[in-house]
């Protein structure tokens, strides 16, 4: 079987471009309309994409004066998408820093049941300071957030394992619903959590919902190498993409994992036109709709330095290294500005499309060329597709880029698997408590 690439549709309001809401082809009033997201999920499914993904933060981040923010909580939304789709994977972001493992294990187990094995969890540690202020705490340090995340994952996985697959007997005649010998307390007692278990939702169809991660710091990559099965990442150049890919895959062995146990999915915002000229026109239209005040506020948050209108036509000032927030994002932004000698205004324009993700404008063939190149030169196992405007940009991708990828033998014609794991080509984990699995428990 030839190697196939995997595609995730990153759903973001009415589009990833920060000016998408001003573009005549979007309807920003649909930001809190479930039908908008249901339409997006159906389009992705029409294109046999692996999954859709919803980002999240637990604070109003960004300047809502100039962008369409304030949408729906992902997990709550995804079960409404599960209800109107049959195949597409459903990946929601949930933070380990401001949640309890019992709730998170239970909600993802529930979504996995509801969707028939299509749930995935984008595990984030919440880099923002505003988030901490909604939970009455000072933002924990970068290292502490990842330490908590690591133990959090241990607990959640134990809870997902707490019901063995064959625990339910359903023996009406004998009055035995379950074999309680196959439902295990987890009795976890660690640094951050003490959780007795078992979970009060039976084992999810996938065993464990798919685990996704997107941190790029040292701690982030170690965490991914240990737990993640798919990794989202922002990489501007092929070289950086290759380095990141090799780096992450190299780390897997020390956790007893194989190369194919983790898929690397760099982000790409495809600006699609039927001609290159049409694509560039759309890119230009969006650029002209940028509100400079918004871009400045975003860039100030990303870099940690205050930037005002006076800064617009100068180079980016010196930026202190980040230690406690989102380390990798800040580095990416500064590197981009320096590499291409950009003014602040130009940098804002470059970031507006994908907040640091790669933006490619062109014909469906040109986009496919880009995907193919990264896929075959050790930079990607697939892609996180971030359409500039929604739903139009996703429709264009599915109707024009996907067929091109199929013709090239790079992408499926129909769903082979039943679950998200199966479509991503990943194994279903057995319960650590199942008999014959003692070796795993001990590990």
Ligand X SMILES: Cc1cc2nc3c(=O)[nH]c(=O)nc-3n(C[C@H](O)[C@H](O)[C@H](O)COP(=O)(O)O)c2cc1C
Q: How far is the CB of 77 from its own copies (least distance, A)?
A: 6
Q: Using CA atoms, how far apart are residues 379 and 388, in angstroms rounded to an integer?
A: 22
What part of residues 304-333 is at the interface with ligand X (CB under 6 A)? 326-329
Give the SS3 label for residue 245. helix
Q: How far is the CB of 370 from its own copies (least distance, A)?
A: 31
Out of 3, 86, 141, 180, point to the residue binding its own copies (CB under 8 A): 180
Which residues in 65-124 contact ligand X (CB under 6 A)?
93, 122, 124
434 binds, among its own copies, ligand X, none (CB under 5 to 8 A by kind): none
Among 46-54, 189-197, 241-249, 258-266, the segment contacting its own copies (CB under 8 A): 189-197
> DSSP secondary structure string, 171-189?
ETTTTEEE-GGGB----EE
Q: Is 113 in the site for its own copies (CB under 8 A)?
A: yes
Does the annotation flag 269 for ligand binding? no
- Does the annotation list 245 as a binding residue? no
Nearer to its own copies, 198 or 425 (CB): 198
136 contacts its own copies (rule: CB under 8 A): yes
Using a 10 angstrom Cβ sphere, with 0-12 exposed, 13-18 middle and 19 or more buried, the burial of residue 37 is buried
Minimum distance of ligand X from residue 438's CB (angstroms): 34
CA distance 59 to 69: 11
Q: Pick the stretch among 26-34, 51-59, 202-210, 397-405 that binds ligand X (CB under 6 A).
A: 51-59
Please state the closest distance from residue 97 (CB atom) to ligand X, in A: 9
Single out the segment in contact with its own copies by CB under 8 A; choices: 97-105, 145-153, 227-235, 418-426.
97-105
146 marked ligand binding residue: yes
Residue 170 lies near its own copies (rule: CB under 8 A): yes
63-92: which residues touch its own copies (CB under 8 A)? 63-73, 75-77, 79-80, 82-84
CB-wise, 162 or 384, nearer to ligand X?
Answer: 384
Which of 23-31, 54-62, 200-208, 241-249 is the region at the interface with ligand X (rule: CB under 6 A)?
Answer: 54-62
CB of 123 to ligand X, least distance (A): 8
User: Residues within the annotated binding site?
Assistant: 56, 93, 142, 146, 216-217
């Amino acid at each position: 079987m030839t190697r196939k690439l995997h595609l995730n549709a990153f759903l973001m309001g009415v589009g990833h471009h920060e000016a998408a809401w001003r573009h005549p082809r979007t309807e920003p009033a649909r930001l809190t309309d479930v039908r908008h997201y249901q339409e997006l999920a159906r389009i992705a499914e029409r294109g046999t994409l692996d999954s859709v993904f919803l980002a999240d933060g637990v604070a109003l981040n960004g300047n809502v004066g100039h962008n369409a923010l304030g949408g729906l909580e992902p997990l709550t939304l995804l079960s409404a998408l599960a209800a109107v789709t049959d195949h597409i994977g459903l990946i929601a972001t949930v933070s380990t820093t401001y949640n309890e493992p019992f709730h998170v294990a239970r909600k993802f187990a529930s979504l996995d049941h509801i969707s028939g094995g299509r749930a995935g969890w984008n595990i984030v540690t919440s880099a923002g300071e505003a988030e901490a202020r909604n939970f009455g705490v000072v933002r924990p340090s970068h290292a502490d957030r990842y330490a908590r995340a690591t133990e959090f994952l241990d607990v959640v996985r134990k809870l997902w394992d707490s019901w063995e697959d064959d625990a339910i007997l359903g023996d009406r005649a004998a009055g035995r619903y379950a074999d309680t010998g196959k439902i295990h307390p987890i009795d976890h007692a660690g640094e951050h959590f003490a959780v007795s278990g078992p979970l009060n939702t039976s084992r999810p169809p996938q065993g464990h919902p798919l685990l996704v991660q997107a941190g790029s710091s040292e701690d982030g990559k170690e965490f991914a190498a240990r737990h993640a099965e798919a990794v989202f990442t922002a990489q501007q150049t092929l070289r950086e993409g290759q380095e990141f890919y090799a780096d992450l895959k190299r780390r897997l062995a020390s956790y007893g994992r194989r190369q194919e146990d983790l898929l690397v999915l760099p982000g790409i915002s495809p600006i699609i036109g039927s001609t290159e000229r049409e694509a560039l026109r759309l890119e230009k239209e969006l650029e002209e709709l940028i509100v400079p005040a918004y871009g400045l506020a975003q860039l100030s948050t990303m870099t940690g330095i205050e930037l005002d209108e006076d800064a617009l036509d100068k180079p980016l000032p010196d930026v202190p290294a980040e230690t406690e927030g989102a380390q990798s994002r800040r580095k990416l932004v500064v590197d981009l500005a320096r590499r291409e000698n950009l003014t602040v205004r130009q940098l804002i324009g470059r970031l507006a499309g994908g907040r640091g993700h790669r933006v490619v404008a062109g014909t469906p063939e040109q986009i496919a060329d880009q995907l193919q190149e990264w896929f075959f030169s050790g930079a990607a196992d697939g892609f996180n597709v971030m359409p500039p405007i929604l739903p139009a940009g996703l429709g264009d991708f599915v109707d024009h880029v996907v067929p091109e990828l199929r013709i090239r033998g790079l992408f499926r014609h129909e769903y082979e698997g039943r679950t998200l794991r199966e479509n991503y080509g990943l194994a279903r984990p057995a319960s650590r408590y199942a008999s014959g699995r003692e070796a795993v428990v001990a590990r």
